[in-house]
């Protein structure tokens, strides 16, 4: 399988690249390195099945720079993955989350790439009244600019499937965590604690409780669902949406305590605010119905708490001194 991957220098891109290469695929990654880093790609540099090009996927016709190559799959992972940033700078989600999707779809159409996978998010569900939230939820009311960029992306993917014969798999991830974080609560807490080891100021009351998934479990779910379909009707074959996370959830308070512990900060004071959310656009609780992806035979190795604990320890070690 020949794979073109956008956002390949990020957390999920790194793990998906490793899994694909291990299974005999050739992987061509593009990334503008706005959040991801070359250090995330260093492990692949001597692999002849791997190539990397620094490119901005939000720019029209970016794919002309790699014209003449053939791919079986376009994995579109590039986005502004920092949700709170979109609140203060909505143009970031316009260009990095929405424009990149449109331009990736145009690339798939013009390069005749038959299959497209997209990293969407539980953010498309907003503060959903039904939990665990199933894929078929009619309540798609994002509260973050990022979630809006993902939902708009999903709508265009659906239409490209109908209009241009593309096959598309959309994955609505919970919070994906692992060693090579580029953003998010663990990344943020470790950075803050390294600056000030005496106290940690948490955004919100700390009772925000969300579902977390280890990045290796996340990419194994993607890979498995490419092979095995839970059902087989014609339209379902062309267009699939999967929630992808664990069934459990972890609170911000647990993450704060474990982050202090990982850095061996026994006397650090953790301060909380009164608000149930950390910023406008934050969702206090997420829980996804993952029964559909489980019907493909997928099972996560780690539950939400174990994934968070592992990510805190691995990221603290990975980011030490950087």
Ligand X SMILES: NC(=O)c1ccc[n+]([C@@H]2O[C@H](COP(=O)([O-])OP(=O)(O)OC[C@H]3O[C@@H](n4cnc5c(N)ncnc54)[C@H](O)[C@@H]3O)[C@@H](O)[C@H]2O)c1
Residues that bind ligand X (CB under 6 A): 6-7, 9-13, 31-36, 56-58, 77-79, 81, 96, 100, 119, 121, 173, 175-176, 182-184
Name which of 96 and 292 has its Cβ closer to ligand X.
96
Name which of 27 and 268 has its Cβ closer to ligand X.
27
Name which of 5 and 200 has its Cβ closer to ligand X.
5
* 117 in Cβ contact with 16 (< 8 Å): no
- Residue 13 beta carbon to ligand X: minimum distance, rounded to whole angstroms: 6
Name which of 107 and 268 has its Cβ closer to ligand X.
107
**CA atoms of 157 and 165, how far apart (whole Å):** 11
Backbone angles phi, psi at 242, to 5 degrees: -125, 130
- Residue 274 beta carbon to ligand X: minimum distance, rounded to whole angstroms: 26
Name which of 32 and 87 has its Cβ closer to ligand X.
32
Give residues with Cβ within 8 angstroms of 124, minimum separation 6: 140, 142, 147, 150, 151, 154, 172
Taking CB atoms, the residue at the shortest distance from ligand X is 10
Name which of 56 and 247 has its Cβ closer to ligand X.
56
| Token duo for residue 226 | 């490419």
* 216 in Cβ contact with 244 (< 8 Å): no
Whole-Å CA distances, 183 to 24, 178, 190: 30, 11, 11
- Residue 218 beta carbon to ligand X: minimum distance, rounded to whole angstroms: 8
Name which of 133 and 268 has its Cβ closer to ligand X.
133
Question: Which residue intervals of the chain are DSSP H helices?
Answer: 11-22, 83-88, 90-92, 100-110, 145-164, 185-195, 215-227, 234-238, 252-262, 291-294, 304-318
- Residue 250 beta carbon to ligand X: minimum distance, rounded to whole angstroms: 13
- Residue 6 beta carbon to ligand X: minimum distance, rounded to whole angstroms: 6
Give residues with Cβ within 8 angstroms of 45, minimum separation 6: none
Three-point CA angle 217, 221, 226, nearest 5°: 155
- Residue 269 beta carbon to ligand X: minimum distance, rounded to whole angstroms: 28
- Residue 198 beta carbon to ligand X: minimum distance, rounded to whole angstroms: 29
**CA atoms of 10 and 219, how far apart (whole Å):** 13
Question: Which element (helix H / strand E) includes 251?
Answer: strand 250-251
- Residue 311 beta carbon to ligand X: minimum distance, rounded to whole angstroms: 10
Name which of 186 and 268 has its Cβ closer to ligand X.
186
**CA atoms of 118 and 240, how far apart (whole Å):** 10
| Token duo for residue 46 | 């001597």
């Amino acid at each position: 399988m020949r794979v073109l991957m956008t956002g390949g220098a990020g957390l999920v891109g790194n793990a998906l690249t490793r899994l694909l290469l291990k299974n005999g695929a050739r992987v061509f990654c593009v990334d503008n390195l706005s959040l991801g880093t070359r250090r995330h790609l260093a492990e692949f540099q001597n692999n002849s099945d791997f190539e990397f090009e620094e490119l901005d996927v939000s720019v029209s016709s970016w794919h002309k720079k790699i014209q003449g190559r053939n791919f079986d799959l376009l994995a579109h992972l590039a986005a502004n993955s920092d949700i709170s940033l979109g609140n203060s700078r909505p143009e970031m989600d316009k260009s990095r989350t929405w424009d990149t999707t449109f331009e990736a779809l145009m690339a798939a159409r013009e390069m005749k790439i038959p299959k497209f996978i997209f990293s969407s998010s539980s953010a498309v569900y907003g503060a959903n009244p039904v939990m665990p939230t199933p894929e078929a939820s009619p309540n798609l009311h994002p509260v973050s600019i990022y979630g809006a960029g993902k939902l708009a992306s999903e709508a265009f993917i659906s239409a490209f499937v109908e209009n241009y014969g593309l096959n598309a798999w959309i994955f609505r991830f919970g919070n994906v965590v692992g060693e090579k974080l580029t953003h998010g609560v663990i990344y943020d807490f470790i950075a803050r604690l390294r600056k000030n080891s005496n106290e940690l100021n948490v955004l919100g009351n700390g009772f925000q409780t969300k579902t977390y998934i280890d990045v290796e479990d996340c990419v194994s779910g993607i890979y498995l669902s490419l092979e095995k379909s839970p059902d087989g009707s014609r339209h379902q074959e062309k267009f699939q949406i999967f929630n992808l996370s664990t069934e459990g959830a972890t609170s911000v308070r647990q993450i704060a305590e474990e982050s202090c512990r990982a850095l061996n900060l026994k006397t650090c004071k953790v301060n909380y605010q009164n608000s149930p959310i950390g910023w406008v656009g934050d969702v206090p609780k997420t829980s996804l119905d993952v029964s559909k992806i489980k019907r493909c035979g997928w099972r996560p190795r780690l539950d939400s708490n174990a994934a968070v604990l592992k990510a805190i320890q691995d990221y603290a070690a990975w980011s030490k001194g950087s």
